[in-house]
Chains A and B, each alone.
Chain A
Amino acid sequence: MDKVSIVEGGAYPLGVKNVDTDMIIAAKWLKTISRVGLGKGAFEAMRQDPANVFDDPAHAGSPILIAGDNFGCGSSREHAAWALNDMGVKAVIAPSFSDIFSGNAFKNGILTVVLPQEAIDRLMDVAKTDPIHIDLDAQSVTTPFQDRFSFEIDPFRKTCLMGGLDEIGLTLAEADRIGAYEAKVKADRPWVSAAVA
């Protein structure tokens, strides 16, 4: 994973609540065996509306997306994170996220920044004309108008994002512990230790 520290630039002021993963990337785009190229299918239904934020020249190519509550609800498809990545979105700011989506975003180096609705309202306003600055190390979102909002992030996720760490590599280094756990389960609960003979 690439290292993440600063995300800066324009933001799509979407603001909608309950943006589900079917809206981010519809099922017809899931028939791929690749992680790239999904940007062209992102928010396809919303983009039918000529007034959509994604095709507005004032926002095209923005690295930040601002949304309402419960962003990414629904399906576990990581294609939603891949689609955002592919369209260049590196951070989503919302009052809340679905658990599965925020995990998927993290695995792909996309920041999910949780801020209260008042902050979202302010940033939606700023995003109409000006850039937004997210500093992961400082855990802050700032604007050219001296706004400053602090956000919380899981310390483990922060370390992984800032260091660009390979989580699977980290876990594989624990292979001995995993093996010891498996040996203990085989003794204590032998019926779970082999499903398919």
Chain B
Amino acid sequence: MTKPRTLYEKIWDAHVVERKDDGTCLIYIDRHLVHEVTSPQAFEGLRMAGRKVRRPDLTLAVPDHNLPTTARVDAQGKRIPIADAEGAEQLAALERNVAEFGVPYIGPTDEKQGIVHVIGPEQGFTLPGTTMVCGDSHTAAHGALGAIAFGIGTSEVEHVLATQTLLLKQSKTMEVRVEGTLGFGVTPKDVVLEIIGRTGTAGGTGHVIEYRGSTFRDMSIEGRLTVANMAIEGGARSGLFAPDEKTFAYLKGRPMAPKGAEWDAAVAWWKSLVTDEGAVFDKSLFIDAADIAPNVTWGTSPEDVVSITGSVPDPESFSDASKRAAAEKALEYMGLTKGQRMQDVSVEHIFIGSCTNSRIEDLRAAASVIEGRHIAGSIKQALVVPGSGLVKRQAEAEGLDRIFTEAGFEWREPGCSACLGMNPDKVPSGERCASTSNRNFMGRQGPGARTHLVSPVMAAAAAVTGHLADVRELMSR
């Protein structure tokens, strides 16, 4: 009998081109997403060495990080250039590179344009049992569909463009099991924040996570995308869900998904992609779903998680000296005091968007809280940035855009927006944002910006109350 294998090991084994004596493997990469920020130096490297892109047909490029989220075309339908000279040059470089190397491209005015990690699944570019990379750490998101997906640096982008492979060492495996039904008002975002709060930001380093248990089996694909997206925030380069009937139903009919007899053959193989009975994980974490409440972050690391009913911790409560020092620094940066109730923290900015929480289910959930209400008078700016043009169109067809705009939100064009402070959407220094994004690092949303990571419904609750608030008090059961 063959040794029982985990899901990760099965997909890994199917992609080994060559195993070297020291255990390093040459791994084939099935899908490669490319964006404007981490690719120019890679294409330049190819050009200098006279190399080609080996498999443009397995590559898909789309700009998302530095694109402004304001109108992209004028009244005459003409494309509006990016005002920022460096941003414009980076986009121009991407457009030159995809043309020169023959890489398929979705441009800024194409309705299919969006955040790489939203359009991959949406187009059926992401498939179960594949290996997938992108020069962006949130590539982990695609693991929601059962792909080994991970972020790479620009040198690796160049390596994949030239060879369609990467030299890798197999990771260790970590099981994160959550069992039970999520409580009222508790969302996939709260689940992943809970996980990171418990493991810490380095808890998954060197590991690939597999999310198991009934909570994840019952979770929608979009919810799973939110969870896998933040695997990297716990240090794991990838997070995986075993593909199931929900995965197949989500993918069927997507433009780049297999069709006809190939679809049937694909599904038959995908069904074999489960962790075998008796397979061993190197590490395990168990969480009871009943223990998870709506969560918020209080500090400047995604591991700084507390329930919305909780308070800012006392740095002295941490046993580790370096964590104590980090917490003191974080409170100073965040302008918070120990013992302060999280619900008493007022915010001036709301950001609903990012590759973590900008899909249709996220927008529906936020809109359900917003409907019939208005943002608080103290809110200076509230943004809703759909993850793709198709998400935007769907939301508009459902009237969600009107719910948001009538409540005082700005309804924007798709892109990474205020998640990372490299396009015009930023939070001013010293001001505070309830954000559905993935990182609360110092300066992440702009120099001096203070970020509290929350779910879409919690961002909505903060918007209408003007402070971090327990959304359960605003929702009807």
Contacts and interface: CB of A to CB of B under 8 A. Distances in A.
B432 interface: no
Contact of B439 (A74, A81, A195): A74
A20 interface: yes
Nearest to B137: A76
29 contacts: A23-B441, A23-B443, A28-B421, A31-B37, A31-B86, A31-B422, A68-B322, A69-B202, A70-B235, A74-B441, A76-B38, A76-B136, A98-B202, A100-B137, A100-B151, A100-B152, A100-B232, A154-B169, A156-B20, A167-B167, A172-B163, A178-B26, A189-B269, A191-B265, A191-B266, A194-B57, A194-B58, A195-B30, A195-B256
Interface string A87-116: 000000000101110011001100000000
A30 B447 contact: no
B237 interface: yes
B422 A34 contact: no
Nearest to B447: A45
A26 interface: yes
Given A76-B38, A154-B169, A178 B164 contact: yes
Interface of A: 16-18, 20, 22-23, 26-28, 30-35, 45, 68-70, 73-78, 81, 96, 98-100, 103-104, 107-108, 154-156, 167-168, 171-172, 174-175, 177-178, 181-182, 185, 189-192, 194-197
A34 B37 CA distance: 11
B262 interface: yes
B137 A191 contact: no
B212 interface: no
B18 A26 contact: no
A128 to B, nearest CB: 18
B84 interface: yes
A174 B16 CA distance: 13
B443 A76 contact: no
Given A189-B269, A192-B127, A22 B263 contact: no
Contact of A17 (B22, B44, B326): B326
B476 to A, nearest CB: 38
Interface residues of B, number: 82
Contact of A195 (B41, B51, B57, B443): B57
Interface centre among A16, A73, A76, A171 (most CB of B within 10 A): A76
Contacts of B336: none
A172 B165 CA distance: 10
Interface string B6-34: 00000000000110101010101011000
B28 A181 contact: yes
A45 B443 contact: yes
B130 interface: yes
Interface centre among A23, A68, A107, A189 (most CB of B within 10 A): A189
B89 interface: yes
Nearest to A159: B22
A108 B155 contact: yes
Nearest to A180: B17
A193 to B, nearest CB: 8
Nearest to B131: A192
B38 A78 contact: yes
B260 to A, nearest CB: 10
Contacts of B93: 33
Given A76-B135, A190-B265, 16 more contacts: A70-B201, A75-B439, A77-B38, A100-B237, A154-B24, A155-B22, A167-B155, A171-B26, A171-B159, A178-B164, A189-B129, A189-B269, A192-B129, A194-B58, A196-B104, A197-B57
A35 B154 CA distance: 10
B322 A69 contact: yes
B158 interface: yes
B153 A78 contact: yes
Contacts of B262: 190-191
A156 B22 CA distance: 7
B83 interface: no
B49 A27 contact: no
A178 B323 contact: no
B90 A191 contact: no
Given A100-B137, A171-B26, A45 B442 contact: yes
A98 B206 CA distance: 8
Contacts of B153: 76-78, 81, 100, 103-104, 107
B24 A156 contact: yes
Given A30-B422, A178-B164, A195-B31, A76 B151 contact: yes
B187 interface: no
A46 to B, nearest CB: 9
A108 B158 CA distance: 13
A149 B444 CA distance: 36
Nearest to A170: B167
A168 B51 contact: yes
Given A22-B442, A100-B152, A191-B266, A73 B201 contact: yes
Contacts of B256: 195-196
Interface string B59-98: 1100001100000000000000000101101100100000
Nearest to B420: A27
A167 B159 contact: yes
B334 to A, nearest CB: 14
Interface in B189-219: 201-202, 205-206
